[in-house]
C-alpha cells in the first residue's frame, strides 16, 4: 500500500513539473468547466465548502475525481507548493495512470 501511495504522489509531481496540472480552486473550476481537467485530486482535509464546490463541478461536467487518503501537506509536498487542497490533472495519460493507481 505504501509503495502505491508514494507512486501516485511521484506521478503528481512529474505531471506538475511537466505543466500538466492546475492548482488553486478558481483555476481548477475553470479547467473543469472547459473540460481541460481529466482528473481532480482532493486532499482528505479539504474544507466542506471547497469539497462541495469541486465535487459538484466534477459531477456536473462528468470529470472523475478522488478524495485521496493524504492531507493537504502531503499533496502540496508532492508538487513543491504549500497549502494546496486540490490538483487538477490536465493530461489524459497522467490521469489514466493515476486512476489506475488510486482506483
Q: Judge whether residue 22 has pLDDT over 50.
A: yes
Q: Judge whether residue 5 has pLDDT over 60.
A: no
Read off the pLDDT of each residue in 15-26 and give the average, rounded to a whole number.
97
Q: Judge whether residue 32 has pLDDT over 80.
A: yes
Q: Are 25 and 86 in contact (CB under 8 A)?
A: yes
Domain 2-102 in this protein, CATH class: alpha beta
Tens digits of residue pLDDT in 34-74: 999 999 999 999 999 999 999 999 999 999 999 999 999 99
Q: Judge whether residue 75 has pLDDT over 60.
A: yes
pTM: 0.94
Per-residue cell: 45: 482535509
Residue ranges per structural domain of the chain: 2-102
The DSSP bridge partners found for residue 46 are none
Amino acid at each position: 500500500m505504501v509503495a502505491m501511495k508514494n507512486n501516485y504522489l511521484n506521478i503528481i509531481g512529474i505531471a506538475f513539473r511537466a505543466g500538466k496540472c492546475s492548482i488553486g480552486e478558481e483555476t481548477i473550476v475553470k479547467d473543469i468547466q472547459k473540460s481541460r481537467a481529466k482528473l481532480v485530486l482532493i486532499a482528505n482535509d479539504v474544507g466542506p465548502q471547497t469539497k462541495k464546490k469541486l465535487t459538484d463541478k466534477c459531477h456536473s461536467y462528468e470529470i472523475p475525481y478522488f478524495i485521496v487518503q493524504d492531507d493537504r501537506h502531503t499533496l502540496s509536498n508532492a508538487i513543491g507548493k504549500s497549502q494546496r487542497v486540490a490538483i487538477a490533472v490536465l493530461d489524459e495519460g497522467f490521469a489514466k495512470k493515476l486512476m489506475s493507481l488510486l482506483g
